[in-house]
Structure 1
Amino acid sequence: MARGNGLTEKHVVGLARLQAKEHVLVLGPGPGVGLIAAAEYAGIVVGVDPSDTMLLAARHNCGELVEAGKVQLIRGDAADTHQPDQSAHVVLSVNNIQLWEDRQAAYAEIRRVMKPGARLVISVHQKWQPAGIAAELADAGFTTVSSTTWEPPSRRTTTAAIYQANK
Structure 2
Amino acid sequence: MSQVLDRAFGHPRGLLGRLGGALMAHGNAETERRVVEVARITSAETVLVLGPGPGIGLLAAAERAATTIGVDPSEEMLARCRDRCSALVEGGTVELRRGDAEHPGQPEASVDVALSVNNVQLWPDRAAGFAGLYRALRPGGRLVLSAHEKWLPVSRHRLADEVAAAGFTDLQTWVWQPPGRTPLAAQLRAYRPAE
Task: Sort the TM-score into its range (normalised by shorter chain).
Answer: over 0.9
Between structures 1 and 2, the one with greater strand share: 1
| TM, length-normalised to structure 1 | 0.97
Q: TM-score normalised to the size of structure 2?
A: 0.84
1:140 aligns with 2:166: yes
1:166 aligns with 2:191: yes
**What displacement does 1:113 show?**
0.6
CA distance in 1 between counterparts of 2:92 and 2:135 reads 24
Question: Partners of 2:99 and 2:167 in 1: how far apart?
Answer: 23
Q: Return the structure number with greater helix share.
A: 2
Aligned equivalent of 2:40: 17
Q: Secondary structure at the match of 1:79?
A: coil
The match for 1:96 is 119
Gaps of 5+ in 2: 1-23
AA aligned to 2:58 is: L
Query: How many residues end up aligned between the 2 structures?
Result: 166
Larger radius of gyration: 2
Of structures 1 and 2, the one scoring higher in RCO (CA 8 A, sep 6+) is: 1
| 1:117 alignment partner in structure 2 | 140
Identity of aligned residues (%): 53
Question: What residue identity is the alignment partner of 1:164?
Answer: R
Report the alpha carbon displacement of residue 40 of structure 1 after superposing the two structures with TM: 1.1
Query: Any runs of at least 4 consecutive aligned residues in structure 1 with deviations exceeding 3 A, and if so which?
Result: none
Could you say what secondary structure the match of 1:15 adopts? Answer: helix
